[in-house]
Structure 1
């Protein structure tokens, strides 16, 4: 599960920083010399993120990282390369055009989407549009098999955060309601992995930053390093939590109770998933921050607190 919350303003690697061999391989994919490269806004890691254009007018989005600079990001980008090569055509994802993949560098050449993030004040309408796109996510588990891992075992360790907090005697770090309801939260989270079992393609950690809306109002989802097979509603819930953590005033519970995406989600399943996320984020927030992401832990705590506040309202 890619759990890094929204941008932490890290300086990105740029197109000009890439070694000649990597740039040449990208240009081979595009069929011409890159004459323009526009680095996107600072993000949560140093992975490059450039919209490039060739002399012949071909366009693409290029993201790249070296193992020696960021081994974790290198592995994640290689996982995304594998996922993009297996995504069904019905997935709302930009197409993989090609790649450079070596022991030291990974660079993905992806279809360029001219889109923007969901924004205020039209956030409710745009959130509903994104949930509609998630409702159409394809079935990927047929006859018991899927090209993507099952979300349930993927999340089993992730959702053991409450047990880790208890074992480390870290209850003083918790919001007061969470400390008072620790047994309840731990029991809920223990059932979260079972609750997310399903047959749909899921992004497994969808946030507002992972969504683009183009000029035709089409919804695109990016950053597919953690794709899995699971419950249809899973991504919608992480999206609504991220919107709430980011200051959205949308009534997320009303959406959960009324939108078709959540029709198959029992109330206890939603609570279990929120409890699992809250425990994960509050546990992760105790760890030292990576050197190139100094605000990461504060952002993770913000997500955890938002999940607890949502659960407190739901279980009042």
Structure 2
């Protein structure tokens, strides 16, 4: 987030944040992230709170509600939500601040085992009774057999490395639950495979990491093949005719995985 982003926040909204956190002595904008108009650490005399927010009329303001709803169900694998404010035309979430860095998905990275552990823990979390999107619905436009992606598991679905925080003790936490969904338990490991390939792993190396997860052992081969092909079509659409370097890298990773699984988006 650009440093000047906070200057666009009305003074009464900043005052409401200070009322929730205590007097603010320093504000530290956070540069990464795609889904928030406000993303900053608010430092007080007693601690630090990470605040993310959108205007109430923003097209993605529903993501604030989703994060607020899901947070009580993912304690221990995600930072704790401390409060939610809907004030002066803004929707704000205050999370416990976590000291950590974004995960590194390179083949030699020591973060990869920590992310595998995080995935294993997520696989043990029951899916809450919330109106989550389902993976068959989300992937219906990209697959002839989206029913293969159905299931009862809680899924995060966005394994961008910036959504995984590696703490000082080496443990990992998962942030940004806006796209939480319900589907087959193997889908999060499958999506992680894509990001590992984008991070420099071969398809074989990436799937070897996924194979260490119980959910992967349950995955029907035909379903994973279909999901790889659907993912390649999805990223081809996202990239479009003139992709930026980030989407181009993901499109290439998805095509690599689809080819490895015996299919293609082409």
TM-score normalised by structure 2 residue count: 0.84
Please provide the CA RMSD for this pair. Answer: 2.8
| Counterpart pick for 1:263 among 217, 220, 225 | 217
Secondary structure of the equivalent of 2:25?
strand
Does residue 93 of structure 1 match 2:40? no
Aligned mates of 2:212, 2:190 — CA distance in 1: 13
**Gapped regions of structure 1 (runs ≥ 5):** 1-9, 162-188, 290-294
Counterpart in 2 of 1:313? 260
Counterpart in 2 of 1:152? 135
Aligned ranges 1:1-316 → 2 under 5 Å: 11=2, 14-30=5-21, 32-44=22-34, 47-54=37-44, 56-67=45-56, 71-84=58-71, 86-90=72-76, 92-102=77-87, 104-119=89-104, 123-137=108-122, 138-141=124-127, 146-149=129-132, 151-157=134-140, 160-161=141-142, 189-191=143-145, 193-248=146-201, 251-286=205-240, 295=244, 298-315=245-262
Note the alpha carbon deviations across 1:154-192, whole angstroms, 9 max, x for none: 4144xx24xxxxxxxxxxxxxxxxxxxxxxxxxxx322x
1:238–1:119 distance in 2 versus 1, CA, 3 Å: same
Aligned mates of 1:194, 1:311 — CA distance in 2: 19
Matched-pair contact (CA < 8 Å) for 2:33–2:162? no
1:301–1:288 distance in 2 versus 1, CA, 3 Å: closer
Aligned mates of 2:74, 2:212 — CA distance in 1: 28
Matched length: 261
Matched-pair contact (CA < 8 Å) for 1:198–1:232? yes
Aligned mates of 1:279, 1:217 — CA distance in 2: 35
Matched-pair contact (CA < 8 Å) for 1:95–1:111? yes
Note the alpha carbon deviations across 1:236-271, whole angstroms, 9 max, x for none: 221221231243458112223444341111222222
Matched-pair contact (CA < 8 Å) for 1:117–1:213? yes
1:147–1:42 distance in 2 versus 1, CA, 3 Å: closer
- Structure (1 or 2) with the greater strand fraction: 2
Q: Which has the higher contact order (CA 8 A, sep 6+)?
A: 1
Matched-pair contact (CA < 8 Å) for 1:208–1:243? no
User: 265-274 or 74-83, which moves further after superposition?
Assistant: 74-83
TM-score normalised by structure 1 residue count: 0.72
Secondary structure of the equivalent of 1:113?
coil
